[in-house]
């Protein structure tokens, strides 16, 4: 199976108040050392995979530079990353190659560099088309700049664009949110992602909201009900404008286009790898990977997940990776939860069949849904959170809104259940 490659670039021009990613503002001097370290890691991919007993396909059909703000690197640094990736992997002609870019940085020179790197998809962290909302959380762009840059990308032949939006930003109202959605639709971009503002201890705005303070415009953050309404509004408006929801936070136009002789739809191939448990390798700070093991040789592990440290210092100081073996039992669980994120849902029969050959549990080996899930499925169906059609199970619109609650119900059942599926 061709692999997906992820490169994390943890540098930003300024830190957004809501951001809980492992990114920060560093001096430009740090970039060069970081890129050198990335190149070293990419070059030793094969040796590393073999030490873990994992298979690593030589073909890659998706590359994703995220972070952080990858577009902050200079042209030579970006070119070296892509050259090293192409030296280690055979990048298929139809590969999806995405770079996350901060609006306000897409100069003609940067676009030229992206094209030289073979980039064919750009993801823009717009978050809001209302200048006051974007600026209240520390974004440095204005609506007019975003629109100008989208045109510039298109003129350069880079029309495969994603726009990220956040529901629940300070000062957001139903009207202003509708405006951001309408603007997104009016741009005609083929893909949009909508996230609800995350409130946790890992961001300045999150901590301020938890503490009940007023810094970072915290007192202008809409309440949970309003944010939930915004999410529902987004699903409805985007859907009726032809941007079909295919995952909890992701929407794509239904049309297909020809790229390098292959038919492509507009769904993010890279993200689909995560949700469908296809192999991927991540490089850099806070980068996650999952590689399959040969289950004929090792039936205790179906795959191995590993993650790099989430701080630049720890990464540069070569702090060891966190390695998590995935048992066949855990693989079923992962396929179930990740697959449910997709609107198409999961086919329970195929899921159980997929794993039955490598499982000693008689119930799973017999292709049955584990007992412990049956009651959670039934309860969620009754509560309108899941819908079941033959052996296909999927979240309802309400289930997507309350997906964390749905997943928590399954995990709670497992804890008190018969032990057929154990939390890792």
169 binds ligand SF4 per the rule CB under 6 A: no
- Closest Cα to residue 99, out of 83, 117, 85? 117
145 binds ligand SF4 per the rule CB under 6 A: no
Closest CB to ligand SF4 among residues 45, 268: 268
- The tokens describing 334, both together, are 């992962």
Q: How far is the CB of 177 from ligand SF4 (least distance, A)?
A: 18
Sketch the per residue contact string, 22 through 41, with ligand SF4: x for CB under 6 A, - otherwise: -x------------------
DSSP 3-state of 270? helix
- The answer to whether 251 and 194 are in contact (CB under 8 A) is yes
Whole-number Cα distances in Å, 352 to 131, 253, 332, 361, 390: 49, 32, 8, 12, 14
68 binds ligand SF4 per the rule CB under 6 A: yes
Residues 189-228 binding ligand SF4 (CB under 6 A) are none
Among 5, 12, 166, 287, binds ligand SF4 (CB under 6 A): 12
- The tokens describing 329, both together, are 């039992």
- Closest Cα to residue 205, out of 127, 258, 129? 127
Q: How far is the CB of 207 from ligand SF4 (least distance, A)?
A: 15
DSSP 3-state of 416? helix
The stretch near ligand SF4 (CB under 6 A) out of 19-27, 86-94, 219-227, 366-374 is 19-27
Among 42, 54, 56, 102, binds ligand SF4 (CB under 6 A): 102
Residues 385-404 binding ligand SF4 (CB under 6 A) are none
| Torsion sign over Cα 110, 238, 168, 342 | negative
- The answer to whether 70 and 9 are in contact (CB under 8 A) is yes
- Closest Cα to residue 95, out of 273, 276, 341, 286? 273
What CA dihedral angle connects 404, 409, 414 and 415, to 10 degrees? 90
168 binds ligand SF4 per the rule CB under 6 A: no
Among 6, 21, 89, 231, binds ligand SF4 (CB under 6 A): 21
Residues making contact with ligand SF4 (CB under 6 A):
12, 15-16, 19, 21, 23, 67-69, 102, 125
């Amino acid at each position: 199976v061709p692999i997906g490659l992820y490169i994390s670039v943890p540098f930003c021009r300024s830190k957004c108040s809501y951001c809980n990613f492992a990114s920060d503002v560093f001096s430009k001097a740090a970039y060069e050392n970081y890129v050198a370290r990335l190149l070293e890691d990419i070059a030793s991919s094969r040796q590393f995979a073999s030490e873990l007993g994992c298979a690593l396909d030589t073909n890659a059909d998706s590359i994703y530079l995220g972070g952080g703000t990858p577009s902050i690197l200079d042209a030579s640094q970006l070119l070296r990353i892509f050259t090293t990736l192409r030296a280690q992997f055979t990048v298929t002609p139809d590969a999806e190659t995405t770079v996350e870019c901060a609006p306000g940085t897409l100069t003609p020179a940067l676009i030229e560099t992206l094209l030289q790197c073979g980039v064919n998809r750009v993801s823009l962290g717009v978050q809001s088309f209302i200048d006051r909302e974007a600026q209240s959380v520390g974004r440095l762009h204005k609506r007019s700049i975003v629109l100008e840059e989208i045109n510039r990308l298109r003129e350069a032949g880079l029309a495969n664009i994603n726009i990220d939006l956040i529901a629940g930003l300070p000062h957001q109202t139903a009207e202003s949110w509708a405006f951001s959605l309408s603007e997104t639709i009016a741009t005609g971009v083929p893909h949009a992602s909508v996230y609800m503002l995350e409130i946790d201890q890992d961001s300045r705005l999150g901590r301020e909201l938890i503490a009940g303070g007023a810094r970072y415009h915290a007192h202008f953050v809409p309440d949970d009900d309003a944010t939930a309404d915004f999410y529902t509004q987004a699903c409805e408006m985007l859907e009726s404008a032809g941007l079909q929801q295919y995952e909890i936070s992701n929407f794509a136009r239904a049309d297909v286009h020809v790229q390098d002789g292959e038919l492509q739809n507009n769904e993010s191939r890279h993200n689909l790898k995560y949700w469908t448990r296809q192999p991927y390798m991540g490089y850099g700070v806070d980068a996650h990977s999952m590689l399959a093991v040969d289950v004929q040789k090792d039936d205790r592990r179906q795959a191995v997940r590993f993650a790099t440290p989430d701080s630049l210092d720890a990464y540069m100081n070569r702090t060891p990776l966190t390695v998590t073996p995935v048992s066949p039992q855990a693989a079923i669980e992962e396929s179930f939860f990740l697959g449910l994120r997709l609107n198409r849902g999961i086919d329970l029969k195929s899921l159980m069949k997929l794993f039955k050959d490598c499982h000693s549990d008689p119930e799973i080996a017999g292709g049955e849904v584990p007992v412990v899930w049956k009651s959670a499925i039934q309860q969620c169906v009754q509560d309108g959170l899941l819908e079941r059609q033959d052996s296909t199970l999927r979240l309802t619109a309400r289930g997507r809104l309350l997906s964390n609650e749905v997943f928590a119900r399954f995990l709670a059942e497992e804890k008190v259940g018969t032990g057929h599926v154990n939390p890792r």
